[in-house]
Amino acid sequence: MRSRTELLLLVACCGFLLFYGLGAFGLLGADEPRYAQVAREMLDRGDWITPTLNGKPWLEKPPLYYWQAMLAYRVARAFGSGNDGVNERTARLPGAIDGAIMIAAIYFFLRRLRPGSELDAALIAASCAGVIGFAHAASTDMPLTAALTIAFLAWYTWYESGRRLYLAVFYMCLALGMLAKGPVAPALAGVIILLFVAVRRDSNALLRTLWIPGIALFLVAALPWYIAVQMRNPDFFRVFILEHNLARFSTNVYHHPQPVWFYLPVFLLAAMPWTLWLIMALVERVRLILSKGRQAFVGSDNSWHLFLILWMVVPILFFSASESKLPGYILPSVPAGALLVAEYLATRLEQKTKISRPLAIAHGLLCGLLIFAALSAASVALNHRLAFGQGTYIAATIAAVFAIGISAALVTRSGPQLLRPATMIAVIVSVTAVIRLAAPVIDATQSSRPVAEIIQDFSHERVPVALYHVSRVQQYGLDFYLNRPTQIYEEGKVPSDSHLLITAPNIAASTTQPEFSALIPGRKVSYLTGVPAQKLAIYWVGKE
């Protein structure tokens, strides 16, 4: 009965945190619409090998996300979903499903590894800001993170039990990670395991990990697509391996420079609202190592903690050395941090350690800050800063009430037992606030969906659409929502037929003689409307 209750609670929480609001706002940034469009084109062509964008090979990423999105589109089409099954929900569904599978794996593996802490570990991982955020994204980061999480859990279960079934799961999940984002999956796994066995001075475990049937399983699962895509696209090795792996890591060729410490605040934010407890868990481990030396790694519990710390730290250090940095790169570290928090809290609960008043207040303030940020997200999205006004004061009051309530609950005798449910309430309130209050504003200001809807209202036919001085983020978004490539004036691609032109108001300062008129001499230009929320203007350009 207890297990059934735990499973129902886990399903309810994960169902809400990972799946609620998948379509509340349009696809954001350059990657989401790009990945979603690649999957659509592959499905329309019936091609499961070569990713394409606007009909041209797009070889930046392996196919796992595309395959998952294609299946989501196909199922939606089978059930008669609008827009031919392709929309924000189906495009983001792979991330949510992968996140749910990862949480389920954490629960079931920890029932074997650390019975009694499995529910807390699963819920803590599911409630981390990084997991929730990337579960709501059409990207390759959650597929990679889910694959690596299951692989690491399986490897450590094999390490403790010796059952080769878990080692087979490890190699299979490494193959999925290879299909999710490339050689970074086996590279990270190799470094983490190598460091673990080196610190433990257990070279025999490394030799036993190199299990021939497992390696064969990895090769059989991962290599066929790589061979097939290389045979069809001779440029694949150069584009994917040399440019989008080696060059992306060693140079700033893709213009994502950040300071070396960039991932420290990113990781602390991704671990919200458990950041404080994660810091305390790490401090305790460091103290133990300083006081006991190598004895701090002796014993089952200590080796598990060592493995979690390496799992958490290695991706952060690895990508900190990269010249190209994006927040999603270190998502695989977040589940390890969540498991470390669960272990720390389980130890405190077992030792009946009460939560001190300063600690309770600090955690309450952190939860209140999370709620305030969620309630203020709409204002920030609209004004690009926190605009003080009546709404801000109401948000601050609500956040203060929650902060005081959580702090008061944690200082009671039942505080340790109330920590997880009180924090989960704060997370659920925050997710609700973002989806219900901020999502419409994010959609209006950040997504190309409303711009595409305006274009479709002006012309239900597939008229050409051109852009002038419009960002590539908006370009990729419009390509997805219109399901056709837009033409770029700056590249000399000026449609000869009548077409819609989208540009920035500061470029088209005058509705009678805009700057782009020199590119279309003698053609009639009519101002149609503006999109103030995204600082765009829409024109009708007559035929040559």
Residue among 96, 93, 98 at smallest CA distance from 70: 93
Q: Which residue type sits at 228?
A: A
| The pLDDT value given to residue 495 | 87
pLDDT band for 513, please (50, 70, 90 cuts): low
Flag the least confident range among 121-130, 392-401, 492-501: 492-501
CA angle 332, 338, 341 (to 5 degrees): 145
Mean residue pLDDT of the chain comes to: 89
d(C-alpha 239, C-alpha 228), whole Å: 15
Q: In this structure, what DSSP letter does residue 517 have?
A: G
| The pLDDT value given to residue 247 | 65
What is the residue-wise DSSP string for 62-91?
Answer: -SHHHHHHHHHHHHHHHTT-TGGG-SHHHH
Q: Is the pLDDT of residue 185 over 50?
A: yes
Answer for the pair 456, 397: CB distance below 8 angstroms, yes or no: no
| The pLDDT value given to residue 521 | 81
Q: What are the pLDDT digits (tens) for 23-52?
A: 999 999 989 999 999 999 999 999 999 999
Flag the least confident range among 30-34, 81-85, 335-339: 81-85
Give the pTM. Answer: 0.93
d(C-alpha 427, C-alpha 126), whole Å: 10
Q: Is the pLDDT of residue 506 over 70?
A: no
3-state secondary structure of 530: strand
Answer for the pair 126, 14: CB distance below 8 angstroms, yes or no: yes
Q: What are the pLDDT digits (tens) for 461-502?
A: 788 899 998 888 999 999 999 998 999 988 888 888 888 999
Which residues lie across from 503 on neighbouring strands? 468, 537
pLDDT band for 511, please (50, 70, 90 cuts): very low
Helix or strand holding residue 537 (H, E): strand 536-541
| The pLDDT value given to residue 188 | 95
Q: Is the pLDDT of residue 533 over 70?
A: yes
CA angle 417, 423, 429 (to 5 degrees): 140
Taken in order 458, 462, 464, 470, the sign of the CA dihedral is positive
Q: Is the pLDDT of residue 83 over 70?
A: no
Flag the least confident range among 165-174, 232-241, 427-436: 232-241
d(C-alpha 527, C-alpha 245), whole Å: 45
Tokens of 464: 């050409």
Taken in order 372, 373, 378, 384, the sign of the CA dihedral is positive
Q: Which residue type sits at 173?
A: C
Tokens of 369: 């800050």
Alpha helix (H) residue ranges in 79-202: 88-113, 118-126, 129-135, 141-161, 164-181, 184-200
Flag the least confident range among 177-186, 238-247, 394-403, 503-512: 503-512
| The pLDDT value given to residue 253 | 59
User: What average pLDDT score do residues 432-454 get?
Assistant: 92
d(C-alpha 320, C-alpha 336), whole Å: 18
d(C-alpha 142, C-alpha 130), whole Å: 10
- Residues 6 or more apart in contact with residue 170 via CB below 8 angstroms: 151, 152, 154, 155, 158, 214
Helix or strand holding residue 485 (H, E): none
CA–chain centroid gap for 65, Å, is 12
Percent of the chain whose predicted confidence (pLDDT) is above 90? 61
| The pLDDT value given to residue 184 | 92
CA–chain centroid gap for 257, Å, is 19
Q: Which residue type sits at 414?
A: S
Q: Is the pLDDT of residue 245 over 80?
A: no
Report which listed range, 9-18, 349-358, 531-540, is most confident.
Answer: 9-18
Q: Is the pLDDT of residue 509 over 60?
A: no
Q: In this structure, what DSSP letter does residue 234 have?
A: T
| The pLDDT value given to residue 261 | 86
| The pLDDT value given to residue 153 | 97
| The pLDDT value given to residue 299 | 67
| The pLDDT value given to residue 130 | 95
| The pLDDT value given to residue 201 | 86
pLDDT band for 254, please (50, 70, 90 cuts): low
Q: What are the pLDDT digits (tens) for 420-438?
A: 999 999 999 999 999 999 9
Residue among 100, 92, 77 at smallest CA distance from 7: 100
Alpha helix (H) residue ranges in 384-459: 390-410, 415-433, 439-446, 449-458
Radius of gyration of the chain (CA): 25
| The pLDDT value given to residue 525 | 85
d(C-alpha 493, C-alpha 496), whole Å: 9
Sorted by where each begins, the domain ranges of the chain are 2-256, 357-446, 449-541
pLDDT band for 457, please (50, 70, 90 cuts): confident
Taken in order 25, 26, 27, 29, the sign of the CA dihedral is negative
Q: What are the pLDDT digits (tens) for 290-317?
A: 787 767 676 667 889 999 999 999 999 9
d(C-alpha 401, C-alpha 395), whole Å: 10
d(C-alpha 323, C-alpha 210), whole Å: 32
What is the residue-wise DSSP string for 323-387?
Answer: SS--GGGGTTHHHHHHHHHHHHHHHHHHTTPPPPHHHHHHHHHHHHHHHHHHHHHHHHHHHSS--
Report which listed range, 237-251, 402-416, 497-511, is most confident.
Answer: 402-416
| The pLDDT value given to residue 78 | 86
Q: Is the pLDDT of residue 371 over 50?
A: yes
333-350 and 88-113 are packed helices; what angle lies between their axes, rounded to 10 degrees? 40
